[in-house]
Amino acid sequence: MKIESVELVRVELPLVTPFRTSFGTQTRRDVLLLRVLTPEAEGWAECVAGKHPVYSSEYTEGAHRVVADELLPRLLGGDVTAASVMPALSGVQGHRMAKATVETAVLDAQLRAAGMSLAHYLGATRSEIVSGVSVGIHDSIPELLDTVGGYLDAGYARIKLKIEPGWDVAPVAAVRERFGDHIALQVDANCAYARADFRRLRALDEFGLLLIEQPLPEEDVAGHALWAAAFDTPICLDESVVSAQAAAEAIRLGACSVVNIKPGRVGGYLEARRVHDVCQAAGVPVWAGGMLETGIGRAANLALAGLPNFTLPSDISGSDRYYQQDLTEPFTVVDGLLPVPTGPGIGVTPIPDVLAELAVRREVVKP
């Protein structure tokens, strides 16, 4: 497949409500989209890097420049397939989110030309995905309870609470008291704790949580192994799992019994499938994380979440969770479920008028 040109499109979208985690508060998304043009088809992808390097070392402007200046020159001018992208980019260290964006756009174009859906290509076995929702840190517990109640009324099958020191045991206890033990509930710390916080986090065992996600820093896999052995609640890794190899090592060390898979974090959907397969072989269930994606990234995540070892509710929410106007036709949760797109490639494209209105910058790179 020959790439004729690549368009990098920057879009700014306001969030419906501010989203606060232990990293900070987000009110807008600065999104980098990639559009790959070939003689046979076009391909789309969304970079999940945030505006600032707080979740990871990558950020939108940096990803934009790395894609345009370092990654695309290594691909343009010759034949390319999705499988050949990562080997061609191996000379660039790191930048998994940027690389994932390039690989996904090429894969989308390849599959559209072949008339095959991403879900079919990856090996999905489900046509619908159980949808959970991630609830940010609030200013007060009454506000949190109102928000959780609204999501439960909207049909979400699982609630995930963001936590940080000073906002952990009390909000979890309040949600359990208000809504009961029957709701599926988990927490996400985003690396906010240290080993000295063991006793405080151990108190969460009494609330029957599905899991505690990434309580310790990314590099502290050994600390997670210690906590996993001591906690009754399953420990799930997110930021620590940057590849299939990292997943295998974490499982071998006993650092987790659940893994969150985010394709951008591990370097793309092909590597995400390898992470899935490693976990499945080890008997470790996985679930699909989210990075506040627009419909472009959401569609691709749904395809991945259709694989058989994604046995826990996902973080893939409806479009209206984050955006009043999505870049694609909206995804709507019905009875706690979202459909896996069945069209060629990722199955969606941006709505032209919406993209034209929200795009703030475009750059075209040619061979």
Domains and CATH numbers, the chain: 5-115+351-365 (3.30.390.10), 119-339 (3.20.20.120)
pLDDT at position 21 is: 86
pLDDT at position 23 is: 76
Amino acid at 112: R
The answer to whether 121 and 111 are in contact (CB under 8 A) is: yes
Instruction: Specify the pTM.
Output: 0.94
pLDDT at position 77 is: 87
Closest by alpha carbon to 264, among 338, 230, 315, 216? 315
Per annotation, catalytic residue among 51, 99, 160, 162: 162
Per annotation, catalytic residue among 2, 99, 262, 366: 262
The answer to whether 133 and 151 are in contact (CB under 8 A) is: yes
Partners of residue 9 on adjacent β-strands: 33, 362
Length of the chain, in residues: 367
pLDDT at position 52 is: 93
The alpha carbon torsion through 273, 276, 277, 283 (nearest 10 deg) reads -170
Q: Count H helices, E strands: the chain? A: 13, 13
Residue 34 in 3-state DSSP? strand
pLDDT at position 266 is: 97
Does the active-site annotation cover 262? yes
Partners of residue 12 on adjacent β-strands: 30
Amino acid at 166: G
Does the active-site annotation cover 162? yes
pLDDT at position 20 is: 83
Give average pLDDT by consecutive 10-residue segment, the chain, 367 residues. 96 89 84 97 97 93 97 93 96 97 98 98 97 95 97 95 96 97 96 96 97 98 98 97 98 98 97 98 97 96 98 94 93 95 97 95 94
pLDDT at position 256 is: 98
Cα–Cα distance measured from residue 345 to residue 363, given in angstroms and rounded to the nearest whole number: 23
